[in-house]
Chains A and B, each alone.
Chain A
Amino acid sequence: MPPSKLKSIYLSLAIAFVFLLLPWSGFALKIRPDFILLVIIFWLIRAPNLCNVGTAWFLGLFVDLATGGIFGQFALAYTITAFFAVTYQRRLVLFNHTQQLIYVFFLLMISQIVLLIIKTFSGAEALGWDYFLPSFLGVLLWRVAVVFGLNTGGRSRGA
């Protein structure tokens, strides 16, 4: 893998942020994958020396700002997710694509569950099972990106 540049990290995160800011509504809002977390996970696997738990926390703050919720909700969710991604980063690089996919799915779920717990504590109504749809969509997006040639460090079985 060629060494990653800080500039490309920031650029990709900014693009993911604009995707978040798109005027989603109705069903699209319900299934909207967490673009920013996906990009963070990608960079956590790819370049943990440049993008770490702190980056995730900082971006979580911006997502909090954009969603208009209480400051720190997404920050906490992203921090915990980033921790799990970083802890197993060295193993993750050696996984093949399918194994990586499953792990990314778990990471996305962790973030959603943490958020759900925080929201439940603050008195929000449960949303039902389709609350977890964004994780599935996120994994799908990851898979599509890998098919289109995104190098996540995973090895395909055949190679």
Chain B
Amino acid sequence: MARRFNQKLEQQSAPAFFVHGPSPLARLAFFSALSLALMAADSRLEYLASVRQNLQALLHPLQLLANAPSRLYRDTSEYFSTHEYLLNENRKLKKNALKQAVELQKLSTLELENDNLRQLLQTNKSIIETSVAAEIMHVGRDLFTKKIIVNRGATHNIAAGEAVVDATGVIGQVTRIYPLSSEVTLITDKSLAIPIQVERNGLRAIAFGHGRDNTLDLPYLPTNVDIQRGDKLVTSGIDGVYPAGLAVAIVSQIEITPDSPFARIICVPTGGVENHKQVLLVSIPHTIEPVKTEIISTVKLEAKAKNPESKVIAIKPTVAKPGVREPTAVKAGPEKPQLIPEVKSIITTPTNNVSKPHATE
């Protein structure tokens, strides 16, 4: 109001030719300093996460308004889809459902068998992931990063770090949570790395996003590494973020140059972002609470003993028992109750994967 009043005064007293207030240079200096300070506060100190969340909630209605035209178009085109098309789709889906039902039956017997075997070996049970279906609202607007925004957020109990998957493979990871939406960084983003395993021979590596085009890199692998074109890369699951065994990418190109000790391996992700609208946010539950407290106690014990090789001690139960049948590291031995939980918590996820090749042998 005051500004408006001032403006009216200005129009009356002085010609509009002369702009009052601080000089442009002063304004430039002030606002540039302010934005630089903001950048520093946001990137280094991460003070502004909650501010961003709240402001994002403020923008949500505008976002819905902007999404309305495309949504309307989609809905109407769905409404006017032909009888023939729907019939075809129905037939296809039924066929798919039948095929998957058969596979599912096999899977349930396998799961049962796996559980029984694990009980026999006294290893811990495989982790059951929970998942939430979400819809892609829009592709990230920043050209420099590969991100998508999905319509599930903090109010739907989504947590940062969850894996994002579609029907064909891993897409990325939830990196930022807003009240009603969340931001997913794609595996092709330069800042995201994903632990993978070559399906053919079980070789583990880490894939990095390439950033510019939609490919993944497998850096730091020697030139004589056993990877071929067309190899399928699946998640290894050792990170505790991605469930094991999901398709990630297919090796498309291997370049070996004499001047580099590493092979240059380029992979194409199997999961599509452009062609899918629905995704699944998968979260791996953390291990049971008591385990965590036990870990702290072991750490404290080790701290008291001041043993520099604390990790070696933690793995000892497996090494010290060569006679025991199980190949994997975890056994609930009664002798060292403090140590076992730590072993469990560290190796919980790998147990699944490690036991798989053994099961096939």
- Report the minimum CB–CB distance from A114 to chain B (whole Å): 10
| A57 to B52 alpha-carbon distance, docked (Å) | 17
Chain A interface residue bracket vs B: 35 or more
Residues of B within 8 Å of A119, CB to CB, are 144
- Report the minimum CB–CB distance from B324 to chain A (whole Å): 48
Q: In chain A, residues 111-159, which have Cβ atoms closer than 8 Å to a Cβ of chain B?
A: 118-119, 122-128, 131
Interface mask (A56-79 → B, CB under 8 Å = 1, otherwise 0): 110011100111111111011001
| A131 to B212 alpha-carbon distance, docked (Å) | 12
Q: Which residue of A lies closest to B3 (CB)?
A: A6
B31 engages A57 (CB within 8 Å): yes
Chain B interface residue bracket vs A: 35 or more
Main SS of chain B's interface residues? helix
A125 engages B190 (CB within 8 Å): yes
B24 engages A24 (CB within 8 Å): no
Residues of A within 8 Å of B55, CB to CB, are 65
A57 engages B142 (CB within 8 Å): no
Interface residue from B27, B35, B140, B143 paired with A76 (Cβ < 8 Å)? B35
| A119 to B191 alpha-carbon distance, docked (Å) | 13
Residues of A within 8 Å of B63, CB to CB, are 21
User: Any chain B CB within 8 A of the CB of A8?
Assistant: no
User: Any chain A CB within 8 A of the CB of B98?
Assistant: no
A83 engages B144 (CB within 8 Å): no
A53 engages B144 (CB within 8 Å): no
Known A24-B138, A65-B52, A68-B140: A49·B10 in contact at CB below 8 Å? yes
- Report the minimum CB–CB distance from B179 to chain A (whole Å): 13
Q: In chain A, residues 20-78, which have Cβ atoms closer than 8 Å to a Cβ of chain B?
A: 20-26, 29-30, 48-50, 52-54, 56-57, 60-62, 65-73, 75-76
A79 engages B31 (CB within 8 Å): yes
B31 engages A3 (CB within 8 Å): no
- Report the minimum CB–CB distance from B237 to chain A (whole Å): 28
- Report the minimum CB–CB distance from B147 to chain A (whole Å): 6
- Report the minimum CB–CB distance from A132 to chain B (whole Å): 11
| A111 to B147 alpha-carbon distance, docked (Å) | 22
Q: Which residue of A lies closest to B58 (CB)?
A: A65
User: Any chain A CB within 8 A of the CB of B7?
Assistant: yes
* 7 closest Cβ pairs, A-B complex: A21-B66, A72-B38, A23-B138, A72-B39, A72-B35, A53-B27, A76-B35
Report 12 cross-chain contacts, Cβ distance below 8 Å, ordered by A residue. A21-B65, A21-B67, A29-B141, A30-B143, A48-B19, A52-B24, A52-B27, A61-B38, A68-B147, A70-B39, A72-B34, A79-B32
